[in-house]
Amino acid sequence: MAKKRGPKMMWVPPAAKAIQFKVALRYIRPSIWRRVVLPDNFTLGQLHDVIQITMGWYNCHMHAFRVPRRGFGPPLREFGSGLDTAENENMAFVGAVLVRKGQKLLYEYDFGDGWEHEIVVEKMLPIDPQTNYPVCLAGARACPPEDCGSFPGYMNILEALKAPKKTAEQKELLEWLEDGYDPERFDMDAVNRQLGGKRT
Dihedral of CA 112/93/142/116: which sign? negative
| Structural domains present in the chain | 18-141+184-198 (3.10.290.30), 143-183 (no CATH)
Q: Which band of pLDDT confidence, cut at 50, 70 and 90, is reported for residue 77? A: low
pTM of the model: 0.89
- Contact between residue 115 and residue 144 where contact means Cβ atoms under 8 Å apart: yes
pLDDT at 80 > cutoff 60: no
- Contact between residue 168 and residue 157 where contact means Cβ atoms under 8 Å apart: no
The 10s digit of each residue's pLDDT in 21-69 is 999 999 999 999 999 999 999 999 999 999 999 999 999 999 999 999 9
The 10s digit of each residue's pLDDT in 122-165 is 999 999 999 999 999 999 999 999 999 999 999 999 999 999 99
pLDDT at 6 > cutoff 60: no
> How many other CB atoms are found less than 10 A from the CB of residue 45?
19
Three-state DSSP state, 193: helix
Taking residues 94-103, what's their average pLDDT?
A: 97
d(CA 47, CA 84) in angstroms, rounded, equals: 20
